[in-house]
């Protein structure tokens, strides 16, 4: 299947009557796997005020997400990013509950969560009381005293200078979070960062090489950008890297987002952070379709820097691509494409001790799955050459059984009953590490669909004329 990740802006516009051609393409399209993510739910819950009118509208949004995605959700399960079933309404309710529970991150605010449980309260309170009195690290105090860093420190950690304890730190952190996500604190912080680094916002806003400009600014200051990276033990490194690079661009002025809480949809740091999360989640898919021009440009720059193998399209660009390369269901066309590709000189050649590999990349998805062909010619002439269809996979890719199920169905439809008459994929049959798959036998050709080390590939084994004559 072809994985497509849609930004909420595009989904919302489709729901409200725009992009009718795109909506027609994706509806009930068995070729496509369209996941949503926890960031889509964050988009909906960010301005939720629990009025009857808004609840009705939100429910219609969640129903639309369910219908488009078949409730396939990308989320962090604590060990990594996974793709599994998760009803959007259930996820939204959980999101609202968590939002209310952790709105106050001061020590007293966290303590309030244990008020109804006397046993937990009696165990936790002494620890929290001790924590409140601990002084903060000396480096924090020095940063407040340093003229070069004091301004940004006071904006990031309001009140901490006057109360340099862990109690003050947690109160300050809670205020900072509120200022950034609910008020216009991000605008001030961003201006401070740009001023402190000497970056001209007008110069960087639409520059061709924003990362180079940012790097040069920090080199002049003698500061390593690696020191500013935010890492989390609760999400994969690749997820943090994409999000951090996205926020880095916005923070320093490249295609910076508006910050506005006065009218319409609230636009704060939280929105920009969720856009960064969208870019991270989308890196598990073949395509990312987005309509916001600023996010579109930032994502393309981040993917280019980190070599993320996901195509970023605006809706019209994706429609054009779909019509040119994906809009067919005839196996004869797949076979003709394979023949044309193998007869072309459009390949990358690599040599190893074992032999020569010729790899063909193309924009089609053969049998709705494969977009790469590899031909191997062994150095040892006694060994046979081989040809197989594979995937030019997204950078942070994984395969779920549903994709294999659809592929098996399609190949059975194209090539008929498999050699061992195993038929469609059985529940729990597919194993990501090693799966023997299916075989089809023809006069001088055997097709082998199998998975090795997570790569599902279709091998074309041609029978040599000598072997055929000897039988």
Phi, psi of 98 (to 5 degrees): -65, -35
- Whole-number Cα distances in Å, 90 to 71, 97, 160, 245: 11, 11, 38, 31
Output helix, strand, coil percentages for the chain, rounded to the nearest 5.
Answer: 50, 20, 35
- Spans of all domains in the chain: 1-101+182-327, 329-470
For the chain, give the mean pLDDT.
Answer: 84
- Averaging pLDDT over each range in 9-13, 152-156, 231-235, which range is the top one? 9-13
pLDDT band at 412 (very low <50, low <70, confident <90, very high): very high
Torsion (CA) 168, 103, 5, 282 in degrees, nearest 10: 20
Give the 3-state secondary structure of residue 285: coil
SS3 call for 124 = helix
Tokens in use for 97? 């509950």
**Between 320 and 330, residue with greater pLDDT:** 320
**175, two tokens:** 């205020």
pLDDT at 170: 60
Look up the pTM and report it. 0.84
Position 7 pLDDT exceeds 70: yes
Per-residue pLDDT of 347-357, as tens digits, reads 999 999 989 99
Query: For helices 210-221 and 185-197, what crossing angle results, to 10°?
Result: 70
Return d(Cα 413, Cα 331) in angstroms, integer.
9
* 184: pLDDT strictly greater than 70: yes
pLDDT of residue 135: 61
Q: Which DSSP helix (H) or strand (E) runs through 289?
A: strand 287-289
> Smallest Cα–Cα separation from 33: which of 76, 83, 92, 105?
83
Do 403 and 377 contact (CB within 8 A), yes or no? no
- Residue 468 pLDDT more than 50? no
Which pLDDT tens digit goes with each residue over 22-58? 999 999 898 999 999 999 999 888 767 778 888 888 9
Q: Which of 150-159, 212-221, 222-231, 311-320 has the highest mean pLDDT?
A: 311-320
Identify the weakest region by mean pLDDT among 360-364, 372-376, 431-435.
431-435
Task: Give residue 467's pLDDT band: very low, low, confident or very high (50, 70, 90).
Answer: very low
pLDDT in tens, 104-158: 555 455 455 545 555 444 444 554 455 455 566 666 566 666 665 666 666 667 7
Q: Could you give the angle at the alpha carbon of 160 between the alpha carbons of 156 and 163, nearest 5°?
A: 175
Per-residue HEC secondary structure of 397-427 comes to CCCCHHHHHHHHHHHHHHHCCCCCCCCCCCC
Name the residue with higher pLDDT: 154 or 337.
Answer: 337
Q: Long-range CB contacts (< 8 A, 24+ apart) of 318-323?
A: 318/4, 318/22, 318/287, 318/289, 319/21, 319/22, 319/25, 321/287, 321/363, 322/25
Question: How many CA within 13 A on the CB side of residue 368?
Answer: 25
* Residue among 377, 349, 350, 374 nearest 362 (CA): 374
3-state SS assignment for residue 106: coil
| pLDDT tens profile 75-106 | 988 788 999 999 999 999 888 877 655 555 55
Per-residue pLDDT band at 20 (split at 50, 70, 90) = very high
Q: Which contacts qualify for 395-398: CB closer than 8 Å, 24 or more apart? A: 395/238, 395/283, 395/306, 395/307, 395/308, 395/309, 395/310, 396/81, 396/236, 396/238, 396/239, 396/283, 396/284, 396/308, 397/284, 398/83, 398/284, 398/432, 398/454
């Amino acid at each position: 299947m072809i994985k497509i990740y849609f930004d909420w802006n595009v989904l919302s516009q489709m729901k409200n009557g725009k992009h009718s051609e795109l909506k027609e393409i994706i509806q009930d399209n068995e070729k496509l796997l369209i996941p949503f993510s926890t960031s889509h739910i964050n988009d909906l819950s960010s301005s939720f005020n629990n009025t009857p009118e808004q609840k009705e509208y939100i429910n219609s949004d969640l129903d639309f997400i369910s219908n488009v995605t078949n409730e396939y959700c990308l989320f962090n399960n604590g060990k990594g990013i996974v793709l599994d079933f998760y009803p959007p309404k259930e996820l939204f309710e959980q999101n609202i509950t968590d939002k209310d529970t952790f709105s106050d991150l001061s020590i007293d605010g966290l303590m309030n969560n244990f008020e109804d449980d006397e046993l937990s309260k009696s165990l936790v309170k002494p620890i929290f009381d001790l924590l409140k009195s601990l002084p903060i690290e000396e480096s924090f105090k020095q940063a407040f005293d340093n003229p070069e860093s004091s301004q940004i420190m006071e904006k990031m950690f309001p009140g901490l200078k006057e109360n340099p304890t862990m109690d003050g730190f947690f109160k300050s952190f809670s205020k900072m979070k509120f200022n950034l996500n609910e008020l216009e604190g991000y605008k001030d912080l961003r201006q401070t960062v740009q001023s402190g680094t000497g970056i001209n916002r007008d110069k960087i806003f639409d520059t061709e090489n924003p990362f180079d400009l940012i790097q040069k600014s920090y080199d002049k200051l003698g500061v390593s950008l690696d020191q500013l990276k935010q890492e989390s033990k609760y999400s994969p490194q690749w997820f943090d890297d994409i999000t951090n690079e996205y926020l880095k661009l916005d923070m320093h002025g490249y295609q910076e987002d508006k910050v506005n809480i006065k009218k319409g949809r609230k636009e704060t740091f939280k929105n920009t952070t969720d856009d960064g999360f969208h870019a991270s989640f989308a890196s598990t898919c073949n395509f990312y379709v987005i309509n916001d021009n600023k996010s579109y440009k930032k994502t393309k720059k981040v993917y280019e820097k980190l070599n993320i193998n996901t195509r970023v399209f605006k809706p019209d660009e994706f429609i054009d691509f779909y019509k040119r390369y994906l809009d067919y269901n005839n196996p004869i066309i797949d076979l003709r494409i394979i023949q044309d590709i193998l007869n072309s000189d459009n390949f990358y050649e690599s040599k190893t001790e074992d032999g020569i590999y010729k790899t063909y990349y193309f924009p089609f998805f053969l049998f709705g799955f494969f977009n790469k062909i590899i031909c191997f010619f062994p150095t040892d002439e006694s060994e046979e050459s081989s040809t197989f269809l594979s995937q030019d996979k997204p950078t942070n890719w994984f395969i779920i059984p549903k994709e294999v199920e659809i592929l098996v169905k399609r190949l059975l439809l194209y090539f008929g009953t498999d050699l061992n008459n195993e038929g469609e994929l059985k529940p729990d049959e597919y194993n990501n590490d090693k799966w023997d798959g299916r075989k089809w036998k023809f006069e001088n050709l055997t097709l082998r669909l199998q998975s090795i080390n997570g790569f599902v590939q279709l091998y074309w084994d041609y029978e040599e004329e000598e072997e055929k004559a000897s039988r």
